[in-house]
Structure 1
Amino acid sequence: MRDHGGDLDRAMAQYGEGDWLDLSTGINARSYPFPDLPARAWTALPTGAELAALIAAARAAYGAGEGVDCVPLAGAQAAIQLVPRLGTPEEARVVGPTYNEHAGSLQAQGWRVTQVDDIPGLKGAPLAVVVNPNNPDGRFWTPEELIDLAHHVGLLVVDESFADPVPEYSMVRYLDRLPEGVRIVVLRSFGKFYGLAGVRLGFALGARALIDPMRRMAGPWAVSGPAIAAGCRALADQAWQRAMIAQLARDAVRMDALAEKAGWTLVGGTVLFRTYDTGDAAAAQDRLAAARIWTRRFPYSDGWLRLGLPGPEADWARLETALVPSFSRA
């Protein structure tokens, strides 16, 4: 089993049950208000027209041009598991450290995976993966840098699971302007920014020659009726999106100030998660777990700890009390 955030079962097995505050993921705690769904979303198979409406909403939300194809899937994770089947297994390179499912899914399909420190190390790879912004350190690369890179790899996969708050970094609006022979697939997550991870919805976007095989591999009804209905509503709600981006930016500043009081140093992150060098991640996680607050450690770092951002004020107060006890008494 590859380690992930959201592993609350492990937290409870190690520290006991209770009213846990799970900050171990980058899922928005200020979720989109789940809409009332029509009964047929639950009782009937999705129609072609309903699926087309979802695709249109995603294309508009992500700025896809006319020549960009799009396939809805059961989360970005489903797309990650299809990517290795887009070519014959040989060498793949991944910029890391990053979300470990990319390497894991490629290796499971017979690819030899090499982790590199930055995008220059990807050049020459038959298949290259960049998470942009990166999880967990928040590094990002401009579309111009990635387009240049794509000229030097067989297939470039850009995972934009955390790109909703920074649309200016997205590759999607450039996909229909790529020169012939430049191959890029962009993966998008719905659940993280909209805080509806349980809906299981994501998208792959790119040229039809790349997206059509993913559509065939996914098969019919790859996403549920409720996911289609919720996705259509949320992806079209530009007012909510703008307000949430502003709110998350304020929350990230607030989290960084709190971490500074605790003596932690910012490694990086996005407005959906922050990663800090705590000096001793095991001790820091233990201290917060004693207050039933779960966080994300990484096997490759003794110091790094990642936290999602709390939503309700009660959760912020709970984190402040556990993290900086003197702060709560001030």
Structure 2
Amino acid sequence: MSAVEHGGNLGEARRLFPQASGPWIDLSTGINPWPYPIPAIPAESWAALPSPDEARELEAVAAQCYGVPFDACVVATPGTQAAIQWLPHLFAAGTVSVLSPTYAEHARSWALGGHHVREARRFEELAGSEIAVLVNPNNPDGNFFGREELLALAAEKYARGGALIVDEAFADVMPQVSLAPMAGTQGLVMLRSFGKFFGLAGIRLGFVLAEPSLTGKLRQAMGAWAVSGEAIAIGRAALADILWQNGTRTSLRTARQNLDEDLTKAGAVIGGTDLYRLLQTAHAPALFRQLGQAGIWVRRFSANPRWLRFGLPPHADAEARLRAVLARYHKNGTRAM
């Protein structure tokens, strides 16, 4: 099975553009560039194994933050990527429909787990399989679906002995689309990423929201001490800090609006969320090269060469460098490529 494309690979950027002016600006991910301020971490969080009670306390804080009705419907994981790889082993082998294009690790993980995977291009094509997987809001286009249609699909999957897997990795910036308050519904499984919105992807923390029978199976599959002590300490503080979360949503929205203004000089912004924007242009490969030569790394898509995804510039210098490239592109078109 071929390797999955990911953002954030600056090693590839340096190999492709060895003469690029630096330092590199990584806009290839959908991670908040202004992370949650890490609190003081007790020494025992580093020195001792985390206790089950500490993990349960983290899950209780997450339940309150996400609006989950029962703590038992939440299980903490060492990142949602780990959950994506574990979940296929908790269901009997069957047919899995993945709404695409989206995060490619979903299809890969279910296939490696022994399931027959088919890619659906429309929501209606998710019907008929035992398992359906979608990202809401979606990566990279930001499309999202209503609660009623998702709950109906979950009921259809449950009747077939399966489930609807909803990856809500970017729902923190669109909490109104989240199904978290429905956690515990039969046939409904949700994934929540901590690192993207809080800008702390490196601590590897995520959550699965589902009925207690499934969260219990996942907890057993992961084994003891799946989440580190420092991740528990940081996660508890950040998830309880509602003031920071609300302020961050506002600042991300403003930054996204500013980025949209800049990107429209180079093409059409066709979607995204407040953490990333999807640009479509007939000359995306040429723009990608010019950005790379200027030390700016963005996400390209082999399946759609007209697309480029941009994260938010982290500071004024990054904004200025990006604007300079986009202005040259707008002025000179492909002649500058």
Report the TM-score when normalising by structure 2.
Answer: 0.93
Q: Choose which of 27, 45, 48 in structure 1 pairs with 2:49.
A: 45
Does the 8 Å contact 2:73/2:183 carry over to 1? no
Deviation at 1:209, TM superposition (A): 1.3
Q: How far apart, CA to CA, are the structure 2 residues paired with 1:224 and 1:210?
A: 22
Deviation at 1:48, TM superposition (A): 1.9
Deviation at 1:241, TM superposition (A): 0.4
Q: Does 1:205 align with 2:196?
A: no
Q: Does 1:192 align with 2:196?
A: yes
Q: Provide the secondary structure at the position in 2 that maps to 1:3.
A: coil
Q: How far apart, CA to CA, are the structure 1 residues paired with 2:57 and 2:319?
A: 38
Q: How far apart, CA to CA, are the structure 1 residues paired with 2:231 and 2:323?
A: 35
Q: Does 1:129 align with 2:133?
A: yes
Q: Provide the secondary structure at the position in 2 that maps to 1:279.
A: coil
Return closer, same or farther for 1:67/1:191 CA change in 2, 3 Å cut-off: closer
Does the 8 Å contact 1:321/1:327 carry over to 2? no
Q: How far apart, CA to CA, are the structure 2 residues paired with 1:185 and 1:126?
A: 13
Letter in 2 for 1:274: R
Q: How far apart, CA to CA, are the structure 2 residues paired with 1:150 and 1:56?
A: 25
Deviation at 1:327, TM superposition (A): 9.1
Which residue in the other structure is 2:320 paired with?
Answer: 317
Q: Provide the secondary structure at the position in 2 that maps to 1:34.
A: coil
Q: Provide the secondary structure at the position in 1 that maps to 2:171.
A: coil
**How many percent identity over aligned positions?**
43
Which residue in the other structure is 2:154 paired with?
Answer: 150
Which residue in the other structure is 1:120 paired with?
Answer: 124
Deviation at 1:90, TM superposition (A): 1.8
Where in structure 2 are there 5+ consecutive unaligned residues? 332-337
Deviation at 1:67, TM superposition (A): 6.8
Letter in 2 for 1:141: F
Q: How far apart, CA to CA, are the structure 1 residues paired with 2:312 and 2:253?
A: 10
Q: Provide the secondary structure at the position in 1 that maps to 2:165.
A: strand
Deviation at 1:271, TM superposition (A): 0.4
Q: How far apart, CA to CA, are the structure 2 residues paired with 1:37 and 1:324?
A: 45
Q: Choose which of 302, 305, 309 in structure 2 pairs with 1:302.
A: 305
User: Root-mean-square deviation (CA), in Å?
Assistant: 1.5
Does the 8 Å contact 1:42/1:226 carry over to 2? yes
Report the TM-score when normalising by structure 1.
Answer: 0.95
Which residue in the other structure is 2:222 paired with?
Answer: 218
Letter in 2 for 1:168: Q
Q: How far apart, CA to CA, are the structure 2 residues paired with 1:147 and 1:8?
A: 39
Aligned counterparts, 1:232-311, within 5 A: 232-262=236-266, 264-311=267-314
Which residue in the other structure is 2:182 paired with?
Answer: 174
Q: Provide the secondary structure at the position in 1 that maps to 2:173.
A: coil
Q: Size of the alignment, in residue pairs?
A: 323
Q: Choose which of 100, 107, 114 in structure 2 pairs with 1:110.
A: 114
Q: Alpha-carbon deviations, 1:127-174, whole Å to 9, x = none?
A: 110100000011000111100111222210000000001111111101
Aligned counterparts, 1:32-71, within 5 A: 32-66=36-70, 68-71=72-75
Q: How far apart, CA to CA, are the structure 2 residues paired with 1:39 and 1:323?
A: 47
Q: How far apart, CA to CA, are the structure 2 residues paired with 1:322 and 1:80?
A: 37
Does the 8 Å contact 1:23/1:308 carry over to 2? yes
Q: Choose which of 163, 173, 195 in structure 2 pairs with 1:165.
A: 173
Which residue in the other structure is 2:334 paired with?
Answer: none
Q: Choose which of 232, 237, 240 in structure 2 pairs with 1:228.
A: 232
Deviation at 1:325, TM superposition (A): 4.0
Q: Provide the secondary structure at the position in 1 that maps to 2:41.
A: coil
Q: Choose which of 6, 23, 27 in structure 1 pairs with 2:8.
A: 6
Moved more, 199-208 or 62-71: 62-71
Letter in 1 for 2:180: V
Where in structure 1 are there 5+ consecutive unaligned residues? none
